[in-house]
Structures are given as structure tokens and as C-alpha cells.
């Protein structure tokens, strides 16, 4: 029996809400979560995809100790990872030590506990005798991962990946590889990131924040909207017992165009190599790709580069594609996790999600993303792209199980 990598659980939280149903409802209706920033004060005019719950409210939802300090990144990750874990049915095996399954957690983040650190330094800067130094323990990216592992009772392989905006896709890829080569039976994989002043200020300094809702792949695109959220998958070896599956991880690849710290090459070399190698690994033909969830940040550089890569691979027959960042904003290190969930939902339920705010194709291309939600039965394979600073590009391919599309 082949050791296929099954997707047995998914969980997500974004500006569209908490849980899978809220995401599906918003994606189908075309309702965006982009709105003016309200979580904290900033001098920047920013529209973002923020989750409309305070940290205290999230702590209450998760039934965590109220006296303990948690970073927002941790709280969002806990929500999505728990939903994925519960969805997989593994929770019922917890008291039996998961029947001996080797379970690992690979979580991704770029922000880590920056929001907690910002609050500490605001107090400390005014009076160095104040501020709880213990709060800075949560600053490290790995802290959120360890808390999620403890919450889920995962005591095996636990690690954190931080490769900018490709982080969660790389976490999923690592989990898939470890299962493929017999190192794990189950991998909880994905990413989590929260909004904070650091990221708002940083992306503003790069001049790539759009004051209006972002317009991926549109000729008038002027930048991105930042967002926050978390998305996790439960991957499981087909050699183990499982109840259901959303599909399989059929292909993956990571590449780097080694062009610039914060820009992609005009030819889209990294994006091209990542997609091309993932397709080759999957054994699929180009015409067997039913949908591409593109990285599509809405910045002039990213969309032009990714568009060039799509044309290099598919020519005049680019599959239906869209960016879902007009719904959630760019969730940075969590983007691959969130958009992998969206891609799996697309595959499983047979929907192609709309690319919001698109009007005019980019100059020099004829690329037109899907602009309304399309029901398409019989979908068998989808690609999701996440491309990070430093040229780190990762593409994943999800396919239906046993080449049979879900009916329902």
C-alpha cells in the first residue's frame, strides 16, 4: 500500500470569522473581512483583515487561565489547530495515548509574540521599574508552537518554521515529507500570525500598504492589506486508521529566485520553479489542474512576477485562478495555512473562490482571475502558492482521494 498523505482535519480563523462555516459562507457570498484597523492605535491609514475578538474574549472561548498572558498569535493558532484536531477525530484517542500514533506539530509564524512585547516596552519605556519581564518569554516564535502542542497533548516532534510569507506552506510540506518517509504517522501543520504595530509600520515603510481594499492582479493594484489569522491541517498516513479525508497532498516544492530581499524577479523564477516542480512531483498534466489559489498580494511586483510564472507554465491555458487576500488580507506567516484550507474547501466542495475588486487586467498580460464564486463539480486537483521575502517560494498541490471527487 502506498503511503499517501491524507488530509483528515482542517481548521481556520480569519477576519471572516472563527471556524470553517464562517469562511465558506463569506467566500461563497463574496463578503470581505477587510475594514479599518481598530485593534490598536497607529498613525498609518490602514485597512486590514482583523479578527473581531479581543484577546480576553479569545481566552474565554478557549477556556484558558485568565491570569496568564498569551500572545494573540498563540490564541489564533490554538483556535485553528484545535478545530483541525477535533475535525480529524483524533481527540477521541487522546485518553488512549492516540493508540501509539506518532504525532508531530509543525507550526509557522513570522510575528510570534510581538504584540505582547510591544505592550511590555510601552510600559517599560516610561518607567524601567515597571513591566513584567516574564511576558517577554512569549516573544519567541517557538513559544506559540509549544503552547499549541501542550494544549493538544502532542509530545512527539514539535518545531517552528519562519520563512516569511511562505512559512505555513513550508510547515505543511515538512509534515508531508516526514509522513512520506515514515518519520511520523500524523502531522498537525499550518501557521498563525497576528496584527501588531511592528508589521503595520514595517510594511508601511516599504510603501506597499494600500489605503483601499487590495486589488490582486488588477492593473490599478497599489499594495496589500495586512491581515491576521491561522490555518491548520491534520495530515495522516494512509497506512493508519482514519475516518474520512478531504483529499491528499499530491505535490509540493520549494524554490528561491535569489533575486532580492523583498522583491520577486520579473520572470517569476522562484514561483515558476515551485509550481513546475510541484506539478512534476504530483504526476499531473497541466490540464489536470482545476484551480490555482495564487499568492496574489496586490502589490505591483508580486502580481506581475506571479503572473509571468503562470504564463511560463501554462501559456494561453492558465487554469481558473484567484487570490483570496481580498477577503482576509495578507496573513503573513499564516497565509499558507489559511489559503491551504481555502484550497481544500474548494477541492472538496467544488467551488472556485472569487478574486475581489478585480476590474482591469494587468498591462502586458491577458490574465483574468475568477471574479465570482463558481460551482464546479468534479474537481480533482488544486494548487496553492505562498511566496515570501528573500525569494522563498512554495507551492502545494491537493488532490482528491483515489482520484474521486467528493460528492455533496
Average pLDDT over residues 369-395: 93
DSSP letters, 350-401, are TEE---TT--SBPTT-------S-EE-TT--EEEEEEE-GGGEEEEEEEE-G
More confident residue, 90 or 367: 367
Region for residue 205 given its phi and psi (left: phi exceeds 0; alpha: psi -120 to 50; beta: otherwise): alpha
Average pLDDT over residues 164-180: 97
Separation between Cα atoms, residue 205 and residue 191, nearest integer Å: 25
| Structural class in CATH, domain 5-403 | alpha beta
Mean pLDDT of the chain, nearest integer: 93
Q: What is the pLDDT of residues 111-160, one digit of tens each?
A: 998 888 887 767 767 777 676 766 777 788 899 999 999 999 999 999 99
* pLDDT score of 405 more than 80: no
* pLDDT score of 407 more than 60: no
pTM: predicted TM-score of the whole model, two decimal places: 0.95
The predicted pLDDT at position 36 comes to 95
Instruction: List, in order, residues 6 or more apart from 301 with CB less than 8 Å away.
Output: 263, 264
SS3 assignment, position 272: helix
SS3 assignment, position 249: strand
Q: What are phi and psi of 257, to 5 degrees?
A: -85, -5
The predicted pLDDT at position 211 comes to 94
β-strand partners of 268: none
The predicted pLDDT at position 406 comes to 67
Share of the chain above pLDDT 70, in %: 95
* pLDDT score of 309 more than 70: yes
Average pLDDT over residues 107-112: 96
Q: What is the pLDDT of residues 183-219, one digit of tens each?
A: 999 999 999 999 999 999 999 998 999 999 999 999 9
- The bridge status of strand 103-108 relative to strand 381-387 is unpaired
Average pLDDT over residues 282-290: 97
The predicted pLDDT at position 391 comes to 81
Q: What is the residue extent of each domain of the chain? A: 5-403
End-to-end CA distance of the chain, in Å?
28
More confident residue, 97 or 171: 171
- The bridge status of strand 35-36 relative to strand 47-48 is antiparallel
CA 319 remoteness from chain centre: 21
Q: What is the pLDDT of residues 321-347, one digit of tens each?
A: 999 999 999 999 999 999 999 999 999
What is the maximum span of the chain, computed from C-alpha positions, in angstroms? 65
The predicted pLDDT at position 223 comes to 95
* pLDDT score of 408 more than 60: no
More confident residue, 352 or 259: 352
Amino acid at each position: 500500500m502506498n503511503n499517501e498523505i491524507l488530509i483528515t482535519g482542517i481548521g481556520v480563523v480569519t477576519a471572516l470569522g472563527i471556524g470553517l462555516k464562517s469562511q465558506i459562507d463569506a467566500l461563497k457570498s463574496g463578503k470581505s473581512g477587510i475594514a479599518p484597523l481598530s485593534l490598536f492605535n497607529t498613525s498609518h491609514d490602514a485597512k486590514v483583515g482583523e479578527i473581531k475578538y479581543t484577546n480576553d474574549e479569545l481566552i474565554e472561548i478557549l477556556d484558558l487561565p485568565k491570569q496568564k498572558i498569551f500572545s494573540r498569535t498563540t490564541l489564533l493558532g490554538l483556535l485553528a489547530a484545535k478545530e483541525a484536531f477535533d475535525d480529524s477525530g483524533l481527540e477521541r484517542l487522546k485518553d488512549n495515548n492516540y493508540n501509539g500514533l506518532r504525532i508531530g506539530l509543525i507550526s509557522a509564524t513570522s510575528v510570534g509574540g510581538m504584540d505582547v512585547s510591544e505592550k511590555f516596552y510601552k510600559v517599560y519605556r516610561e518607567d524601567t521599574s515597571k513591566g513584567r519581564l516574564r511576558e517577554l518569554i512569549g516573544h519567541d516564535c517557538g513559544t506559540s508552537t509549544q503552547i499549541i502542542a501542550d494544549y493538544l497533548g502532542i509530545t512527539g516532534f514539535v518545531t517552528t518554521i519562519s520563512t516569511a510569507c511562505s512559512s505555513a506552506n513550508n510547515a505543511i510540506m515538512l509534515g508531508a515529507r516526514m509522513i512520506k518517509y515514515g518519520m511520523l504517522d500524523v502531522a498537525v501543520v499550518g501557521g498563525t500570525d497576528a496584527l501588531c504595530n511592528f508589521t503595520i509600520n514595517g510594511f508601511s515603510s516599504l510603501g506597499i500598504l494600500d489605503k483601499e481594499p487590495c486589488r490582486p492582479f488588477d492593473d490599478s493594484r497599489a499594495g496589500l492589506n495586512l491581515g491576521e489569522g491561522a490555518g491548520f491541517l491534520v495530515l495522516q498516513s494512509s497506512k493508519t486508521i482514519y475516518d474520512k479525508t478531504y483529499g491528499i497532498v499530491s505535490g509540493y516544492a520549494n524554490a528561491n529566485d535569489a533575486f532580492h530581499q523583498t522583491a520577486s524577479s520579473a520572470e517569476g523564477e522562484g514561483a515558476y520553479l515551485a509550481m513546475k516542480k510541484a506539478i512534476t512531483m504530483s504526476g499531473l498534466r497541466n490540464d489536470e489542474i482545476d484551480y490555482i489559489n495564487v499568492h496574489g498580494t496586490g502589490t505591483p511586483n508580486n502580481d506581475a512576477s506571479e503572473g509571468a510564472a503562470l504564463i511560463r507554465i501554462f501559456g494561453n491555458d492558465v487554469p481558473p485562478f484567484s487570490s483570496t487576500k481580498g477577503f482576509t488580507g495578507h496573513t503573513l506567516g499564516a497565509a499558507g495555512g489559511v489559503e491551504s484550507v481555502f484550497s481544500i474547501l474548494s477541492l472538496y466542495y467544488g467551488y472556485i473562490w472569487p478574486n475581489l475588486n478585480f476590474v482591469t487586467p494587468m498591462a502586458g498580460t491577458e490574465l483574468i482571475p475568477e471574479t465570482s464564486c463558481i460551482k464546479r463539480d468534479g474537481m480533482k486537483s488544486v494548487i496553492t502558492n505562498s511566496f515570501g521575502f528573500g525569494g522563498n517560494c512554495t507551492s502545494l498541490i491537493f488532490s482528491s482521494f483515489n482520484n474521486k471527487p467528493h460528492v455533496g
